[in-house]
Amino acid sequence: QRDVKYVSDLFLGDIRSRHTVITDIKELQNAIRRSGKRMRIIAKPAEEESQVEDKDAYPRPPPKKSDLKFRPPIVTVMGHVDHGKTTLLDALRHSSVVDQEFGGITQHIGAFSVQLQTGAKVTFLDTPGHAAFSAMRARGANLTDIVVLVVAADDGVMEQTVESIKMARKAKVPMLVAINKIDAPKANVERTEQMLMQVGIQVERVGGDVQAVHISALKCINLDQLTEALVLQAELMEIGGDPSGPVEAVVVESRVDPHRGRLCTLVVQRGTLKKGDVLTADTAIAKVRLLRDSNGQILDSVEPGYPAEVEGWKDLPPAGALVLEVESERRAREVSKFREDKKEAERLEEDAVAISAKMEQHEKVYKERLQLKRRLGRFKLRPEGPRKPEIPEGDNEPFINLIIKADVDGTLEAILEALSTYHSKKCKMDIVSYGIGAVTENDVELADTFKGIIYAFNVDCPSRIQQQANENSVPIQHYNVIYKLIDALKEDINERLPPKQ
Ligand code: GDP
């Protein structure tokens, strides 16, 4: 009681068979005294007290339109396997003028930006395929501005083409079609466009609103046209980012480098990322040590729409996680701990649900068993659980150990009843186990241990179990008439008796 600060919500259960809401601690003590009982008080703190202070970090409210500056569009390449996504991404990476300036030692970091001759820039996520796209989406990250749907002109629309279209539509991301492999001998652009029309994609040439560019990723044909089309699309969409204030970004991928430690590639969505910034992503924390682009060049700062590989993570953040800058490492640890605790609480709740479901199930089984035991309790049964086999030694002590399985408890009862009336002084009979339902592995194991016979009454024996029984020479006998079962028992006993002299 000393710990109870707020008594307004104290709920005292069932004093004089009614519920009493006590509003004063004295009244509570008196009530307990009057009741003459020992009480367990379940104190429910007042509502406003129960709200733990929220120590999470959240993104800022959306920026004003006037704060937005044009930024490169972020593009994901999707399409059917072998239609040329990887080839296209490689070709685009090498087409960058910046890349050429630095001699082009490109490496895969998950995203790269290209600069066109015109100066326009486009950022590509270079983990092609929809697995990456859906991993991001699963975490609620809407990183992609435009999807490039690659369709091979010699193959046309295939299963994953359709899947990609569905995904882009669901995410409400505009699409641009790249009809690839126009250099291939069997290329048929018209047929491909018709196939696209059949799945609801109308390209501009046939009066639709989807831009389609005919390319060869392998021969680098019309790649400029493709990037220009992307820039045009981005302009139409008025894509913009706010480079001021705390950083917001999305994790594209993360990995551990043996020399550089934990790395993550992110794309900045808001703010300007710099060395020394403190970041949180899921439960991971970083103090930015170094920023690099996909050419391995060290960057001073990263603005919205650009990717960077970030060094300085204490744990690996998951792909798709939202990255938020916080003011200090102390605050970052607080956020991380808060999120860790929240996750733990969620896990516990899941566990609690699973446990209570299991308990309910156990309880049901237990009740059924109890009922059965009550009804059949008068039949002698060896105690359940592991025991030493009681197999009499020597041939002169005949015994028969039985395991009985029946379809319903009424039948089982009748069988046990019949068996209990059958005594043979010369042969010791023991019912090792009985139960309802098909013959199980456990029954066979029991029979094997106790050199027993399984009597299966109107129940199945799965072939796997039959095989197990055969391997262990465990006899399983099937019956559907009780007196036949009893006859068989007599016979089994007779077999065990020493021959009459
Ligand atoms: P992904 O599975 O979509 O990433 O496809 P890839 O980029 O791995 O390409 C699959 C195959 O198609 C490879 O053998 C490429 O060389 C070939 N390929 C890709 N683009 C073209 C192209 O424009 N023309 C031709 N002829 N072959 C291509």
Alpha carbon distance 191, 189 (integer Å): 6
pLDDT band at 398 (very low <50, low <70, confident <90, very high): confident
Can you give the pLDDT at residue 393? 53
The segment with the largest mean pLDDT, out of 4-13, 60-69, 321-330, 353-362, is 321-330
Q: Which residues contact 167 (CB under 8 A, 6 or more apart)?
A: 78, 130, 133, 134, 137, 147
More confident residue, 407 or 176: 176
- In eight-state DSSP terms, residue 317 is P
Q: Is the CB of 438 under 6 A from ligand 1?
A: no
Share of the chain above pLDDT 70, in %: 78
Can you give the pLDDT at residue 412? 84
- How does pLDDT run across 126-179, given as a tens digit for each residue? 876 666 677 677 676 778 999 999 999 999 999 999 999 998 998 899 999 999
Long-range pairs of 45-54 with CB within 8 A, sequence gap ≥ 24: 45/5, 45/6, 45/9, 46/6, 46/8, 46/9, 47/9, 49/5, 49/6, 54/338
Complex ipTM tops 0.95: yes
Q: Is the CB of 161 under 6 A from ligand 1?
A: no
Can you give the pLDDT at residue 25? 64
Atom in ligand 1 nearest the alpha carbon of residue 79: 3
Alpha carbon distance 320, 33 (integer Å): 59
At position 223, the amino acid (one-letter code) is L
CA 413 distance to own-chain centroid:
46
Alpha carbon distance 422, 261 (integer Å): 78
More confident residue, 19 or 275: 275
pLDDT at 49 over 60: no
Alpha carbon distance 316, 294 (integer Å): 19
Minimum CA distance residue for ligand 1 atom 24: 181
Alpha carbon distance 184, 181 (integer Å): 5
User: How many separate helices (H) and strands (E) can be counted in the chain?
Assistant: 13, 22
Can you give the pLDDT at residue 1? 39
Question: What is the total residue count of the chain?
Answer: 501
Atom in ligand 1 nearest the alpha carbon of residue 90: 7
Ligand 1 centre to CA of 172 (Å) is 28
Instruction: Tell me the average pLDDT across 87-95.
Output: 87
pLDDT at 322 over 80: yes
What DSSP line would sit under 115-157, residue for residue? E-TTS-EEEEE-S-SHHHHHHHHHTT----SEEEEEEETTT-S
The answer to whether 13 and 42 have CB atoms below 8 angstroms apart is yes
Q: Is the CB of 222 under 6 A from ligand 1?
A: no
Alpha carbon distance 364, 358 (integer Å): 10
Whether the full predicted model's pTM is greater than 0.80, yes or no, is no
Atom in ligand 1 nearest the alpha carbon of residue 81: 2
At position 129, the amino acid (one-letter code) is G
pLDDT at 37 over 80: no
Instruction: Tell me the average pLDDT across 434-452.
Output: 88
What spatial distance separates the first Cα and last Cα of the chain, rounded to whole Å? 85
More confident residue, 23 or 274: 274
User: Comparing 5-14, 61-70, 160-169, which segment has the lowest mean pLDDT?
Assistant: 5-14
55 token code pair: 């120590």
Q: Which of 218, 223, 226 to mutate to test the pocket of ligand 1 (most atoms within 8 A of CB)?
A: 218
Can you give the pLDDT at residue 10? 37
pLDDT band at 50 (very low <50, low <70, confident <90, very high): very low
Ligand 1 centre to CA of 96 (Å) is 20
